[in-house]
Homo-oligomer: A and B are copies of this chain.
């Protein structure tokens, strides 16, 4: 890969030799061993939110984190939810003119199974080849903890912070954050803030600091096709009774045109293209499409004509079949003309597509193309709005400067094809600009055995966040 492009030439007015203030940098150097020991203590607690046998560990992790926040100089409370508690750390002494930043993270982790695939026990953290290896190292304990340490650096070195800070650490991210929306709604006033910062994602590549600026939404449907009242013998009735499985395939085959564009009328009407400069920068990212093809093991990649792979993944909506079921699916042959056929179909959405409007368009399209002889229903099972960051403003500017200070180079802007539901909840309830600033790396096995976080990124992440508080204070 060549050198990534300068992002929108942001740094014309910026001295790229600048780095984190010496007093803050010195704190991280001086306390490096202790910081790592503390992180390892945190990682040793098997806070698996999905497993009831780890309930005591969840409590222990919350208490450990609250203690760590207090040691850093925050006040900290463990607040109940309908499920695992939230740890809320606060420091609000920056004064009435200062901005308030809310940091979101989570202290729960994925189950570690299958244990036999780990090269070292998942809850015995170890440093191996510059990697912190443990369940939760990158998702999200390491990334949450570096925020606490960046706060501590300011308070230890200077006795103060340039911004007010709220750290909201939940314990249910890995099980769907079912209680978070209600919690932040209930605590709306206390959580009021000017900016929101989340470190729970990955950089584009090693050495390339990244701002995650877009998430796709989703509109998830079940399409059911009913033909005859019951299964029929395909010999006795085949040819005269409309086959619902074939009808379903013919319906689904109308979802795309020959260029791989979604062919549902009106589907692209609300799509807001990326700004030309952003699109140009996206196209210039040094992305190895052949490597992706090898990684997924497909004979070729595909998708919408005239778009790069990253555009297809981050900037363009999709229509996918997630499941198909009809008739006989066991071994061998059964001559059944099925009574019904079912498909799970989901559209990934980009701003400003609306799941409710997409449902209307999908239902109208299916009704239009459905053949006679079958009854077709379309049900939306799940909807989530897409999200895109504004690529300007004080938070964005502070982030790119902070990242440049920590990593010695300008950040790139990335997107994400999936959703991070908490972003939608925070956006909707708190209404503050959101910055997704992740320090993970591709291939870090976040939900798999041998999860790791680059120690370099952990350290530079602390630098970047400490710099971010400075930048936001100066903004």
Indicate whether A72 reaches chain B with its CB closer than 8 angstroms. no
Closest chain B residue, CB of each to CB of A321: B245
| A-B contact sample (12 more), CB < 8 A, given A228-B298, A235-B416, A242-B303 | A234-B322, A235-B418, A239-B348, A239-B417, A240-B292, A240-B309, A242-B301, A245-B322, A245-B323, A246-B255, A246-B320, A335-B418
Contact of A249 among B249, B301, B304 (CB under 8 A): B249
CB <8 Å contact, B237 and A324: no
For A332, list chain B residues within 8 Å (CB): 381-382
Q: How far is the CA of A245 from the CA of B344 in the complex (A)?
A: 10
Highest count of chain B CB atoms <10 Å: which of A304, A312, A326: A326
CB <8 Å contact, B242 and A371: no
For A363, list chain B residues within 8 Å (CB): none
Residue interface mask A341-378, B partner, CB < 8 A = 1: 11110101000000000000000000000011111000
CB <8 Å contact, A236 and B298: no
Contact of A375 among B253, B299, B312, B325 (CB under 8 A): B299
Indicate whether A337 reaches chain B with its CB closer than 8 angstroms. yes
CB <8 Å contact, B333 and A371: no
Given contacts A246-B256, A326-B323, contact A235 B298 (CB under 8 A): no
Question: DSSP majority for the A interface?
Answer: mixed
Could you tell me the distance in whole angstroms from the C-beta of A214 to the nearest C-beta in chain B?
12
CB-defined A-B contacts under 8 Å, sample of 25 = A218-B235, A228-B298, A229-B298, A233-B417, A234-B320, A235-B348, A238-B313, A238-B318, A238-B346, A239-B318, A241-B302, A245-B322, A245-B323, A302-B371, A302-B372, A321-B338, A322-B336, A323-B336, A323-B338, A324-B325, A324-B341, A332-B382, A333-B346, A333-B381, A335-B418
CB <8 Å contact, A249 and B321: yes
CB <8 Å contact, A373 and B418: no
CB <8 Å contact, B335 and A227: no
A-to-B contact residues, CB < 8 Å: 216, 218, 220, 222, 227-230, 232-243, 245-246, 248-250, 252-253, 255-256, 292, 296-304, 309, 312-313, 316-318, 320-329, 332-338, 341-344, 346, 348, 371-375, 381-382, 416-419
Closest chain B residue, CB of each to CB of A339: B297
For A302, list chain B residues within 8 Å (CB): 240-242, 371-373
Q: How far is the CA of A316 from the CA of B73 in the complex (A)?
A: 83
For A371, list chain B residues within 8 Å (CB): 302
Could you tell me the distance in whole angstroms from the C-beta of A310 to the nearest C-beta in chain B?
8
CB <8 Å contact, B292 and A320: no
CB <8 Å contact, A242 and B417: no
Closest chain B residue, CB of each to CB of A292: B240
Closest chain B residue, CB of each to CB of A216: B235
Could you tell me the distance in whole angstroms from the C-beta of A363 to the nearest C-beta in chain B?
17
CB <8 Å contact, A324 and B324: yes
Highest count of chain B CB atoms <10 Å: which of A299, A323, A341: A323
For A216, list chain B residues within 8 Å (CB): 235
Given contacts A246-B255, A252-B249, A348-B234, contact A322 B337 (CB under 8 A): yes
Highest count of chain B CB atoms <10 Å: which of A238, A240, A373, A417: A240
Closest chain B residue, CB of each to CB of A253: B253
CB <8 Å contact, A239 and B316: yes
Q: How far is the CA of A417 from the CA of B238 in the complex (A)?
A: 7
For A342, list chain B residues within 8 Å (CB): 329
For A235, list chain B residues within 8 Å (CB): 216, 218, 348, 416-419
CB <8 Å contact, A327 and B322: yes
CB <8 Å contact, B417 and A296: no
Q: How far is the CA of A348 from the CA of B342 in the complex (A)?
A: 24
Q: How far is the CA of A326 from the CA of B329 in the complex (A)?
A: 10
Closest chain B residue, CB of each to CB of A334: B322
